[in-house]
Structure 1
């Protein structure tokens, strides 16, 4: 029939085939390209590459919209703040990491990236926040992920989560002027572009802090602290093959046992701004 579109019935390319003008019909009446291919793997590879391009585009658009506030700051506000640079904060559970990061964000006019990263990954992967939270800073075995896949309408494997996380951290690093809490950011981004902080405290102090902020019993707080520490260490060990407790991975390590939140914030600000001043004065800057 004139004008009829024919294409291979089993070809991996289906309607996207560019050879549909050259066809033949077998004895069963099926239409095939003379050079048909069943290379489903190749088709799958192209689909994955296209999905990755779309995800990268979504990440760029989403983060750019979230960081637009920083771009719109007045020149005076930028002078008063610490435009540029990235601070990463690795923390033990209960060592006041969230509070310190929030204070630094306000006082340095830098964008805070903590739980916001969960939103970005969920947006990038087009999946629910609940799924991302189940993977966030945790080591999830293949078996556990496989079991979980039966109960989720749309599932994300741990390796896929890591791919999205790395792309998002890299994008944030490219924009700069951000404080990134956890998620192995100091292993993803080049160390020379970072000011890497590690917050620690004695176990009893951290348990007491969690009891206060979460209104938890001592047993509940201890369980939370130990599990969270184990999850974070396992996450870093599995995906980055690093020991997050190694002090050599940080530019400034603060023990909260003998310092207040105010003191920690002031110490980090002073060290960060001093380093920025030295970099600005460097001939290579």
Structure 2
């Protein structure tokens, strides 16, 4: 194993938050393939659903943070691992808090096992305290995302726009509900990439390099991290640039 590969192997996971239509899901797939890591995304949930007898259409009808289908899946998984047990109400349906607790345990277990690319699932917040996880946000201008969705899903312009707005709103709901934060908060991430200009292959390469660089910082004490690390003092007195006066218009 090459030295750089050995360093990146010390990282346990990459989380990818994305605006719908930004190509974040495709970037996640490319990263998992490049690193030969497990991919945890919508298709992963669909595969579990099939194993548990839940139809793919039922999964598709629910957002990744919706309580219904995924709560049923996680509840059913307790037969595989009792630690995934979710709370139920008097009607036997999984409660919102029970679903949240189960999802947290699943994401943490995936990170503990290591070498996973986790797309969505609130993982950027669930694993926020872990130094051995790289957190990435993929964004793009709305019109570029509409074009992507039109091409990929065969929708017309207005239908694509509506789908994007609905998906973004639903995806943000989970973090707002449980952590009182928006998924667009940049401080949740090590890296925010705009695919409005940068192509998906290049974005994948940039994230791969960021993973390697973050791996080299794992053993650095917290007090030595930050933009001041290794920085020299300014040679002279710090001063703001003066702003020239604006002449009044005639």
Q: What's the TM-score, normalizing by structure 1?
A: 0.60
Q: Structure 1's 166 and 127: CA in aligned 2 closer, same or farther, altered over 3 A?
A: farther
Aligned counterpart for 1:95 among listed residues 22, 35, 38? 22
Aligned counterpart for 2:108 among listed residues 129, 151, 170? 170
Deviation at 1:110, TM superposition (A): 1.4
Deviation at 1:239, TM superposition (A): 2.2
Distance 2:211 2:50 in 1: 32
**Is 1:226 paired with 2:152?**
no
Matched with 1:71 is: none
Q: Structure 1's 170 and 242: CA in aligned 2 closer, same or farther, altered over 3 A?
A: same
Query: Which protein has greater RCO, CA pairs closer than 8 Å, 6+ apart?
Result: 2
Q: Structure 1's 97 and 81: CA in aligned 2 closer, same or farther, altered over 3 A?
A: farther
Matched with 1:265 is: 204
1:36-72 CA-partner distances (Å, limit 9, x unpaired): xxxxxxxxxxxxxxxxxxxxxxxxxxxxxxxxxxxxx
Matched with 1:207 is: 146
Distance 1:275 1:137 in 2: 28
**Is 1:114 paired with 2:52?**
no
- CA radius of gyration, larger in: 1
How many aligned positions are there?
A: 196
Distance 1:171 1:203 in 2: 35
Written as runs of structure 1 = structure 2, the 5 A alignment for 1:1-285 is 79=5, 82-83=8-9, 84-119=11-46, 128=54, 136-138=63-65, 155-189=93-127, 190-279=129-218, 282=220
Deviates more, 1:153-162 or 1:267-276: 153-162
1:86-123 CA-partner distances (Å, limit 9, x unpaired): 10000000000111011111111211111255258759
Deviation at 1:238, TM superposition (A): 1.0
Q: Which runs of 5+ in 1 are unaligned?
A: 1-74, 142-152
RMSD over equivalenced CA pairs, Å: 3.1
Q: Which runs of 5+ in 2 are unaligned?
A: 69-90, 223-250
Contact 1:90 1:181 in 2 (8 A): yes
Partner SS, residue 258 of structure 1: coil
Between structures 1 and 2, the one with greater helix share: 1
Partner SS, residue 193 of structure 2: strand
Contact 1:201 1:255 in 2 (8 A): yes
Q: What's the TM-score, normalizing by structure 2?
A: 0.68
Deviation at 1:277, TM superposition (A): 2.6
Distance 1:134 1:159 in 2: 21
